[in-house]
Structure formats: C-alpha cells, structure tokens
A and B are shown apart, each in its own frame.
Chain A
Amino acid sequence: MSQHKDIRVLLGNVAIARGILEAGCHVITSYPGTPSSEIMPAAVAFKKEMGLDVYTEWSVNEKVAYDNALAASIAGKRSAVAMKQVGLNVAADSLMSSAYQGVVGGMLIVSCDDPGPHSSQTEQDSRFFAMFAKVPAYDPSTPQEAMAMIKDAYDLSETFQIPVIFRPTIRLSHGKQSVRLSPPDIIERPAKFEKDPGRWAATPRFRLHLHTKLNESLRQIQERFEKDERWNYEVGENSEANLGIITCSTSYTVLTDLLEELNLKDKVNILKIGTPYPLPHKKVVDFIGRHDKVLIIEETDVVIESQIIDKSKVLGRFTGHIPLQGELIPNVIYGILAKFFGEEGVADLEVKADDELAKLVQDLGLPVRRPTLCAGCPERAAFWAIRRALPEAIYTSDIGCYTLGLNLGAVDTVIDMGAGITLASGFYQAYHQDKNDVPIVATMGDSTFYHSGTSSLINAVYNNTRFILVLLDNEITAMTGMQPTPGIGITADGTEGRKIPLEELVKGCGIKWLRNIDPYDVKEMISLLKEAHAYTKSEDGGIAVIIARRGCVIRYPEALEGQEIKVEITDDCDGCRYCIDHFECPALHFDEENERAEIDRKLCVDCGVCINVCAQKAIVPVDEEGQ
C-alpha cells in the first residue's frame, strides 16, 4: 500500500482486523453488516499476506458466529466475532449466558455502532449491552488506538476469563488513519476442552454461583481500569481551568481538533475514557471533584453519564446539553461547546453557519440522490412483477439491497432480519381472525433467508398460514459488499464449502408449492404470482414459495453475456415519466428539453426488462438488422 513498510493508511475496520491478528487470534467469525463488513475480508487478506493459520468464517447469522467463536475460546484459543450493532441483538442470548460462564482463551466481541444512523434500523449503543450482560467494554477513539486496545482486551479477557465487548463507531470503522503495524504474536494453543459441567452446562443453582463470581470479576476489572493510564487519562493540566469534559470514542478526537482550532485548549481539562464499563468511577469522581462543572460528551447514549452517581456538577443528555439522537459530528459538538462555554462565561463562540449559502443551494431544488437498485438489478424486475400481479397486497419485506423495493412501492414493512416472513404470517393470522383474508406477498433475499428465514417459515407452515413468499436469490450478500452465502458454498477465505440450495431448505420447512423463475421473465413471473395467489386461496392451499433467481448484476456481469436485449426509446414516448418514476432504473433518465425518456448507455446493461414497463410500448428492442 505504501513504500513505508510498517506505516500504512488503513481503514478503521482493516486496522481492527490487523489488531486482532497481531494479538495472536486463532478463530475469527462474522456476519456482514454495515459498518462492520470490512473486518472479515481484511482478516482474510492479512492472514494470507502473513501466512497465518487462522480460521476465518462467514457464519449464517450473528448468534451462530458468536457461538462458534465462543467454542474456540472455551477450548482455550483466542477468538473474535465481528458484527454490526443490531447483529448483537441476534447474538444477545449467547452473550448474556456466556458472560456468566466466561471463556478460557480470550474472546473479543466487535460490535460496530452506527450513530446517524447511516445504514441501520437503530442508533443503539452497544456499550449498553456490556452493562446489560455484565461484560467489560472497550471504546476506541482512533484506528491506531483500536489496534493497541485489542491486545490489552485479550489480556483482560484471559486474566478474568470473560468475553469483552469492543465498540467502534462508524467514523472509526470507516475512518482512515496512518497506523504503525507490528508483527503478529504467534501463540500456540491446541484446542483443549476441560470438562466442567458446573460451569459449561450450569443449571440455575450453579448460575447463581457464576453470577457471584462474575460480580467479583467485574469489581477487579473496575480496579484495573481505575489504575489504567493508557485508555483512561487526563489531557491538559490546566490548573486554572474550572471546567472539565469527560469524553470517549470518536467524539474525543472531534473535541481535540475543535479545541485546537478554536484555541481553547487551556480553558478546559479533559478526561478521556476508553473503558466505559465498568466505569473507573473513582477516577471520574476525582476529576469531577476538581472542577466546577463537567460536561459529558459520549456517543451514542448515556453509558458513562448514567454510571455517575452524584450528577450535581454534571451536564450532559440528562440536562439537555447533548442531543438525544443523531451523530455527534463536528458542527454538533461545536454547538454543544458554544452552549457550554457560553453558559459558563468562558468563551462566546459564534454559531456561524452559512445560512445564505444553505438557502441558495436549497433554492436550486437539487434532486435528492436516494439509494436505488442498480441498473439491471433482477430484484427490480421481481418487484415490478409483484406490483403488477397483486397490486392490492400487503408487501412485507426485509433487510438487504431489496429493501430498496420501497422505491417501487413493493415494500411496506422492514423491521429486522427474518421479519419479512414472520410479519407475513402475523398479518395473515390477524386478518384471518376477522375472516378477512387479504393477499400478502413477503420478499426476502437469499442471505437473509439463511440468516433467519427458516425458523420463521417453519412456524408459518406449522400454524397453517397462507401467503406468497418470493425469495430474491441473487446468489450473494450484495448490499454489504458481496459476501458469499451457503447457496454458493464458498467460504470466507475463498475455499470451497458445501452448498445448501434454497430449494432443499424450503421443502424441508414443509412447503408443498414451490416454483423457480428468472425474474427477468416479467410476464412469466406475473402469471406465476397469480398462480401462487390461487394456491393460497385454494381449499388445500398454504404458503406458496417462488424462488426468483438471477445473479447480482454487479457480482456476476458475465451472466448476461449472450442474453443481452439492447433497447431503444421510439418516438411513441409521450414523456409521461411513468418508467422513470415507477420503474426507477438509473439507466432511464428524462430529457427535459425534448420531454421524453432517454437511455443512459453508460449505465444500461441491456437486460431488456424495461420493455415490459412502457404503456405506450415506446421502449423496444433495437432492430439490429433493420438499422
């Protein structure tokens, strides 16, 4: 990457992967999800580069990933599991229990938070999970600090035989920094499971004992964090300053740059907290004691603030000094400081947004570039068919690229992974109870189905529900960056695994009506959907499943070779904009001057699907010979 061998500019997630390998980790598992997805590919790249014998696994979901890493740690190895913050919800059952039972080899739970949120359902703060489960949390501020912290986290994890939560925010995960690399520690750890049923198979009676031990471990960990000067330290010894700020994560770095920029470094002392749970409370109380007022700037929620017992001098979210939602970007922290310093009479910071510019730009009425399915995406074709075949249906959907079926009016609900099916069965029962059956079409991607579709589908079949399930199988986990699935049977490091076709799973769930289709064949798909609908209504009917299979156009561009249908727009186009507004292919745009639709040849992949869309039949295949 650069000519300086041991200094590289790395993405935060890449630095985290590097740190995990440098700490001598043996087993790394993950399920992709923004902002965590880059950790696993980076771990694979580094293990190949350094010739390390590390087991890397894309697991089918976060709970499965967690348990596989946990087993390695119970057998004495070092493990890491990486996921996005809502993934930890899926793995929460394992987390809560394993906090009591602990680990033998070190275990790092990397849970990447997404304040903003940029690409998530919630802004939840993973550090709360640390409090909830009673495991320690590390909260790095920079990629370089993350790498160093990971080594300490493994040491702590093994010293106290406890899993450790490591919480980067998106700005660290997707931030870049020049970092110094070290060679990896090589730790010999043959797997050795020591049987101990009172611990590894603990019944409730033993659980009370384990909880007692856990509380004692936490007390000792807190003492270690109190003494620690690497992650919890004061910045600026301004004995004159009577104001303090306690901060952590990326907010610490933003604050540092701001105080430098505003030349206010000598007006305030900072206590930087890198281990928010258990909070080094004495250190915090001592810091607060030496100041008149102390502001707590932490992302995303009140983890540090709520652990402070005497809040009489403390300002933060509880006092309305910090926003309760949204990301703490530099201008937000600037506003927070302006209020804080203003109230305390230290500095009068002008909040000088360029309103005039904002208004001028607003007046331009620029088009909002909302995310959209790619040109030629087979999911767009499938959604189009669904909308046409069953326009009155309730459309339950799920998490992935296909969430963008929203833009085509073919997605009504997105809750969490798996809910595409469970909401369909739930809606069915709610309406059926009133003897008012309505058509319901659930959509779910292949990776989501492997993640959490089967238990939902088994439940729906078992309880006699009726709806149509369209599995959008693009043969990859596309949204998060093309991770392989069990459907194609390639594992995290590119070696061959075993394929598990969706058909076998669906049949195994008890489905009796199953059809496959290429969604590019829009007419056929519409008639298949109608057939499926008839099945859900028939006397012996049930759930109808359609597997709409065509590889992602970005991942498998070669799949179209030889099947291209080049289209053109004829003079029959009356400029109604229907194709642009309702089909929303990026390759179709409106020529305002000539008031008609046009094809952007740079983006068009010649899938030919839009031929089905125009009511005027103005989108037609190019007649190559006639030209």
Chain B
Amino acid sequence: MMRMKTQIILAGVGGQGVLFSSRIFSELGLKLGLEVTGAETHGMSQRGGSVVAHIKIGGYQSPIVRGGTADILYSLDENEAYKNLHFLRQGGLCFVNMTDGGRFDKNIRDHLKKKDITFHAFDASGMAIELGSVMAANICLVGFSVGTGLVPFTYDDLKDVLQSISRKPDLERNLKIFDTGVDLGKKQ
C-alpha cells in the first residue's frame, strides 16, 4: 500500500508526455483520498526544452520537491535523468527510459549505489513504439516500476486511473502498454 507521503519527479523533454504522467499520479492521489500538490513547467521551456514535473502525495503544502528528498525519479530521457538525479533521497528509486541501460554513466551508477539508490533502465520508447505509440513510453515506464514491486502504488489503482484519464481511442492501447511494462518489471 501507498506510504502516507511520496514525492515524485517526472523528467523529460517537451512533447514526451511528462504532464500526462503527472496527471496519472495526481489522479492516483485523489483516488486514494490523499492530498496532492505538484508543480509543472509551462511557457518558454516547452519549446523543445527540459520539462520537469513534481508530484507530492499525502499531506504536503509546497508544490516543489527539495533536492535530496524525492522518493522516485522517472525520466523519459537519459540526459534529463542525469540532470535530475540530485532530487533523489538516500535509498530512492530511479527509472530511466533509454535504449541501452548499460550505457548509463558507470561512475554515476556507482555513486547511486553508494546512496542505496535503486537504478533501473529499459527501452520504454522502443516497447511503446512496438505497441503503437512512442507517446506512451511514459505509461510503459510507470508500468515497469509497478512490476518491480518497489514502488508504493498498486497495479489495480494505477490501472483504474489509466482507465479514467485515457482518451477513449487510446485506452486499449494504453492499458496494453502498461501491462507490457508491468510484465517487464516483474522479470527484473
């Protein structure tokens, strides 16, 4: 079950669906009856720049996460992952979308290990393209994290949320991509 308080950072570049992921988690908070705050990037940065969303579930006041305190980082882009790692707390979780996880900088991986940060990388975009939409890599990545069993959200709750916020024509595909992500996560 979900811990009372969870702070999540979602990173990517303009057009990767960071704001949709942010909606997944804010609706999840609502569904669980928890207070939700968060912050989004709008305006100039959306023109191809870095996009970061913060989500804080369960009794926070401020919309922004303090560096070194986030529980989970989801990054849809390798470079944006590096730039946002400083948000993670000791023992946090990191999920990165990249074609070859082995390419992630070794020194940084070692550093994360020292901080007990669990690191997972996989090709969510490739998987999402295979299943019909590169835009749904975010859903695949979230599904993957649920599959690992490390995150404090349940499969059923997230599936409900996806059902309620997906556009009708995308629903079936989104759920399939989510399930595929979950299965991959379970194999870790």
Q: Which of B22-37 contact A (CB under 8 A)?
A: 22-23, 26-27, 29-31, 35-37
Residue B154, interface by CB 8 Å: no
Given known A356-B111, A479-B44, A602-B134, contact A178–B36 (CB-CB < 8 A): yes
Residues 6-49 of A contacting B (Cβ, < 8 Å) = 7-9, 11, 34-35, 37-38
- A382: min CB distance to chain B, Å: 17
User: For residue B38, which residues in chain A have a CB less than 8 angstroms away from its CB?
Assistant: 9, 175-177
Q: Out of A7, A176, A361, A371, name the residue touching B48 (CB < 8 Å).
A: A371
A488 within 8 A of B: no
B62 CB contacts on chain A under 8 angstroms: 171, 250, 253-254, 256-257, 330
Instruction: Indicate if A245 sits at the interface (CB-CB under 8 A).
Output: no
Beta-carbon contact of B47 and A2 below 8 Å: no
Q: Which residue of B lies closest to A480 (CB)?
A: B43
Are B43 and A256 closer than 8 Å at their CB atoms? Answer: no
Near B by CB (< 8 A), chain A positions 310-336 give: 329-331, 334
How far is A481 from B69 in the complex, measured between Cα atoms in Å? Answer: 32
Whether the pair A373, B47 counts as a contact (CB closer than 8 A) is yes
Chain B residues with Cβ below 8 Å from A149 are: none
Any chain B CB within 8 A of the CB of A370?
Answer: yes
Total count of chain A residues near the partner, CB < 8 A: 59
Q: Within the complex, which residue of B36, B44, B67 is in contact with A9, where a contact is CB–CB below 8 Å?
A: B36
Would you call A2 and B164 a contact (CB within 8 A)? yes
Total A-B Cβ pairs within 8 A? 156
> Given the complex of chains A and B, what is the CA–CA distance between A8 and B164 in angstroms?
13
Q: Are A142 and B61 in touch, CB under 8 angstroms?
A: yes
B39 with A175: CB separation less than 8 A? yes
**B43→A171 contact, CB < 8 A:** no
A50 within 8 Å of B (CB atoms): no
Nearest-CB residue, chain A, relative to B39? A175
Determine the chain A residues whose CB is within 8 A of the CB of B66 once the complex forms. 257-258, 261, 329-331, 334
> Of B39, B67, B79, B82, which is within 8 A of A176 by CB?
B39
Residues of B within 8 A of A171 (CB): 39, 62-64
| A387 contacts B by Cβ under 8 Å | no
User: Interface residues of B: mostly helix, strand, loop or mixed?
Assistant: mixed
Bound Cα distance from A35 to B64, whole angstroms: 16
Distance from A402 Cβ to chain B, minimum over Cβ atoms (Å) = 11
In the complex, chain A residues 147-189 whose Cβ is within 8 Å of any chain B Cβ: 171-172, 174-178
CA distance A591 to B49 in the complex (A): 20
What's the minimum C-beta distance from A299 to chain B, rounded to whole angstroms? Answer: 12
Known: A171-B39, A330-B67, A361-B82. Contact between A176 and B30, CB under 8 A?
A: no
Residue A432 CB within 8 A of the other chain: no
Contact B27 A2 (CB under 8 A): yes
Min Cβ gap B6→A in Å is 13
Q: B15 CB to closest chain A CB, in angstroms?
A: 9
Chain A stretch 175-211: residues in CB contact (< 8 A) with chain B: 175-178
**Cβ contact within 8 Å between A370 and B68:** no
Whether B30 and A118, one on each chain, are in contact in the complex, defined by CB atoms closer than 8 angstroms, is no
| Binary contact track B40-59/A, C-beta < 8 Å → 1, others 0 | 11111101111000010000
Interface flag for A353 (CB, 8 Å) = yes
A309 to B55, CA, bound (A): 40
Instruction: List 13 extra interface pairs beyond A9-B30, A118-B43, A371-B47, CB under 8 A.
Output: A3-B31, A9-B38, A118-B44, A142-B61, A174-B39, A175-B63, A177-B35, A357-B111, A360-B108, A361-B86, A371-B44, A371-B49, A479-B43
Which B residues lie at the A interface, using CB under 8 A?
Answer: 13, 22-23, 26-27, 29-31, 35-45, 47-50, 55, 60-69, 79, 82-83, 85-86, 105, 107-108, 111, 115, 134, 164
Listed A/B pairs (18) with beta-carbon separation below 8 Å? A1-B27, A34-B43, A34-B44, A35-B43, A119-B45, A172-B63, A175-B37, A175-B38, A177-B63, A178-B26, A250-B62, A254-B64, A257-B60, A364-B105, A366-B83, A369-B79, A370-B49, A480-B43
